[in-house]
Structure 1
Amino acid sequence: MHRPVMPPPGHSPQRWKESWGRLIACLTIWICVSVSLRYGYFGDSRMVLGPSSSRLMKASSVFVDHVEVRDEDKKGVLLYGFYEKPELSFETNWSVADYMIVASYSRKGFSLWLNKGSKIRMRWEARTSILNQLQVVMIKGERKYETLLPKQTSSPDALNLSEPLNGKEAEYTIEEDNRYYLGLINTNPKNIITTLSVNVTSKMYELSKARNMCSTTQGSCRLKLLFPKTQYVVVTTPDNGDINGWNIEVAFVARAIIYVAILGAIVIIIFLILKYLGACDTDQSTNLVETATWQASEPSETEPIMPAKSVRLTYGTNEEDDEGSSCSSSEDLYDAKLCVICYDDQRNCFFVPCGHCATCYDCAQRIMEEDNKMCPICRRLIHKVRRLFTS
């Protein structure tokens, strides 16, 4: 009778698959965490500021080594570093007036970063016949946008928004630090030429207690963060009246050794968890092997693996009967060790979770390839097939 060659226990394909699965899981988590740390909260960002603007940012020096500001236009953006949060106590005022051409059915304006407590006042002038076809709009937010309504100015020489005169005014009070877009909407089918005047009272942070600073007059600057204190960084712009093109790039350069340590710890913890789960799976398989071996030696009434040996009662002595009984018992015992499907190879495997040992490994694999995957003894669903190694 042909006996299939069993592979060594240490080189089973299942072990190789489990090892590769653990390695791929660790690599996947490593990549995901690396990308989230690189492009997540402490990542590069593009900001729109404006003249006399002051923006506060908070950076943990545990994860950030230094902050870098890039200003391609070299307008003189300044970067200040603080140990403690500075006060929003300084106030400055600036104005700008210019001609503006608003195309038909379009919008034109500019963006500013304003802190809480700032005020902005706009006045636009055009011919009386087309003045009512110009509408002012103010939008708050960098990611989630919200349209704000103007507050009617209380100055005695101000013009009412509803009067069809040569000029109109609108005033806004800033209630939250954020980016604000101010613009005019043209509802006329023709282009409109208007004169726009903007007056801004801007609240700025007090810079006298800054630990260090750098300027972007050369195009970019770096501000080193002292480990392990949490740092506050303030980006400010000069008062030059330019309301167009205040775009800068801020990069939080990571402290690589901290990221590597955290990622390494995460991967080690995940590897230990996977190893523990694999060990539990191996222990469970060992227990099933022992259970199947015990059932093969002492079958129970509910889950019989081998039929019980029948005892024949006779009266008197008869040599022929004894010989026939011995032969019958030997044949029954031999048949009980054969596969119940092919009756060719011996039973050398068992099913998980029922634990029945009824087939050879080849027939068990054919059962696993089927759709139902049912045990031929108890008709339970088979999850795995385990080999039995006997000496």
Structure 2
Amino acid sequence: MGRSIGGGYDPGAASACGPSSRSELFGADVNDLPRRRGSMDEAGRQSYYESYWDRSYASNQRSWSTEQDHRRREGLQAGYGFFAAFAFLSFFLSMWMLFGLYGNQHLEMGMFYARVVKANSIFVKEVKINFKEKGPVAYMFLNRPELGPSVSDKKIVEDIVVDPRWHKRFTYWLNSGSYLEVSCSLKASGTGTDSLIVAIVKGEDGFQDWKGDPSNPSLALRWKRVHEKGVLSLKVEEDDDYCIVFGNLNNRKITFSFMLDLRYVLYSKDNSDFVCSSQLTDVCEFPVALGQSTYVLLTSPVVDMQGVKIWYTKLSYIPRWITYIFFWGLVAVGLLFTRAFELRHVRSQVPLSQEHAPTVPEDASHYPAQASAYSLLQADETNSEKASVHENRHCTICLDAPKDSFFDPCGHRCTCYSCGMRIRGDSNRCPICRQTIRTVRRIYDA
């Protein structure tokens, strides 16, 4: 609620309108002003009306020009916003390529490990492999290697203890066509109501999903609740890590044993273009030629080597920085070009030329009912020497009716409404600027 300012009424104080005075306008006494009663009223009012028509026409032109400029400005802002969003998306994609898709990877290679990695020559300049133990061998191919024969392996693990509300996980890298089967048996408990959840999930993401809700079968490739004995099997369709997880949802510990039957499908090592063994060096570097795909095959031994069953390896991709610099440069040029075009458009805007200039000062009243006698006198004295202006208020075609219309979109006001409609029907072009007429709008203040 706004602040209200008021005061007490003093009967003895003089006021503009009080019981002891007559009502009159604040300001100069109109009776004291020199007036020409014969010509002031009519000539002054005519001058005022004509200036009011001119201001109405100028207002029409300014309104149309403002609307057009607003539309252009919105279009430029939309274009700049699009490039800004595209720049943000490009930056996010670049970071994902550098630290996600082609980021450093730490691999745990078990026996019968055979994994193919592909390097895109546009974004990767070199593939680098660091071996921490002796045994693994890396092969480079220009074409993707083919799958070779399968190798079978069986493992028996006994007396595994799982704490309440906990799990055990075993991860294996399996190629397409591989097969695994797990047989699980629980040791007898005193209650006989204990159960064990056995599931097969794909990759780290699949394991995290299963971990959030172990009792949901839809979150695993294979899922089974085992009370005494149970069997799960899976045929692999895609190269990836596959996890065998055992979940204990009971309030007491569970002891179980399982047998794992694995049939590995390995990649063929024939026709390799380059071989690098960890027996000879700890670091293998494979250059990637631009425009040519490169495949690297990582393999582990198929027998125990001095008791080592897991080999730790670091896989790194050296980025091709020229690609990222070129891509970021294109985005920066697009942003600068859009911004420069917007600034150029703003600087190039100039006021439209007017057909008529105002015939009264800008501080004059805009409405006849609010015009004081003093302002009418000023308008009469200012325009008394410009009688030719009165002739310009008539239509330039018929020279009879007033200019009570203007052309849209150019905004020129030079004819009456009837002549304007006739021009639109004949040539449909403004007689001043020759612009196509969209419509003729009538001015009702004429």
Confirm whether residue 174 of structure 1 aligns to residue 174 of structure 2: no
Question: Which is further off, 233-242 or 248-257?
Answer: 233-242
Task: Tell me how many residue pairs correspond in the alignment.
Answer: 275
For the structure 1 residues 48 and 140, does the alpha-carbon distance in structure 2 shift closer, same or farther, using more than 3 Å as the test?
farther
In 2, Cα distance between the equivalents of 1:111 and 1:35?
A: 29
The amino acid that maps onto 2:291 is P
**1:270 pairs with 335, 340, 355, which one?**
335
Q: Which residue of structure 2 aligns with residue 149 of structure 1?
A: 222
Contact 1:96 1:199 in 2 (8 A): yes
**2:320 pairs with 235, 255, 263, which one?**
255
1:99-178, aligned counterparts within 5 Å?
A: 99=158, 100-129=160-189, 133-144=195-206, 145=209, 146-149=219-222, 164=228, 168-178=230-240
1:169-318, aligned counterparts within 5 Å?
A: 169-216=231-278, 220-240=283-303, 248-283=313-348, 285=349, 288-289=350-351, 291=352, 294-295=353-354, 298-299=355-356, 306-307=358-359
The amino acid that maps onto 1:204 is L
TM-score, normalization: structure 1? 0.57
Contact 1:57 1:233 in 2 (8 A): yes
Contact 1:57 1:234 in 2 (8 A): yes
For the structure 1 residues 104 and 326, does the alpha-carbon distance in structure 2 shift closer, same or farther, using more than 3 Å as the test?
closer
Cα drift, residue 115 of structure 1: 1.5
Cα drift, residue 83 of structure 1: 1.0
For the structure 1 residues 50 and 330, does the alpha-carbon distance in structure 2 shift closer, same or farther, using more than 3 Å as the test?
farther
Contact 1:49 1:111 in 2 (8 A): no
Query: Equivalent residue of 1:276, what SS?
Result: helix
Q: Which residue of structure 2 aligns with residue 379 of structure 1?
A: none
Give deviations 1:15-50, integer Å, cap 9, x for gaps: xxxxxx99xx79x76865653442243333445554
Give deviations 1:268-304, integer Å, cap 9, x for gaps: 2332233233323333x1xx33x1xx22xx43xxxxx
**2:382 pairs with 314, 328, 339, which one?**
328
Q: Which residue of structure 1 aligns with residue 212 of structure 2?
A: none
Cα drift, residue 110 of structure 1: 1.0
Contact 1:110 1:182 in 2 (8 A): yes
Cα drift, residue 220 of structure 1: 4.4
In 2, Cα distance between the equivalents of 1:331 and 1:58?
A: 90
Cα drift, residue 75 of structure 1: 5.8
* Aligned-residue CA RMSD (Å): 4.3
Contact 1:124 1:196 in 2 (8 A): yes
Query: Equivalent residue of 2:338, what SS?
Result: helix
In structure 1, runs of 5+ residues without a counterpart are: 1-20, 152-160, 300-304, 310-323, 333-354, 356-391
Calculate percent identity across the aligned residue pairs: 22
Q: Which residue of structure 2 aligns with residue 316 of structure 1?
A: none
Contact 1:150 1:171 in 2 (8 A): no
In 2, Cα distance between the equivalents of 1:70 and 1:330?
A: 99
For the structure 1 residues 101 and 70, does the alpha-carbon distance in structure 2 shift closer, same or farther, using more than 3 Å as the test?
farther
In 1, Cα distance between the equivalents of 2:379 and 2:222?
A: 105
In structure 2, runs of 5+ residues without a counterpart are: 1-79, 210-218, 362-377, 387-410, 412-446
Q: Which residue of structure 1 aligns with residue 420 of structure 2?
A: none
Cα drift, residue 67 of structure 1: 1.3
Cα drift, residue 202 of structure 1: 0.7
In 1, Cα distance between the equivalents of 2:96 and 2:223?
A: 40
Cα drift, residue 121 of structure 1: 2.2
Cα drift, residue 256 of structure 1: 1.7
Q: Which residue of structure 1 aligns with residue 153 of structure 2?
A: 94
Contact 1:61 1:231 in 2 (8 A): yes
Cα drift, residue 225 of structure 1: 1.6
In 2, Cα distance between the equivalents of 1:52 and 1:330?
A: 109
Contact 1:94 1:239 in 2 (8 A): no
Contact 2:113 2:299 in 1 (8 A): yes
In 1, Cα distance between the equivalents of 2:289 and 2:137?
A: 19
Structure with higher Rg: it is 2
In 2, Cα distance between the equivalents of 1:272 and 1:191?
A: 68
In 2, Cα distance between the equivalents of 1:33 and 1:188?
A: 44
Cα drift, residue 216 of structure 1: 4.7
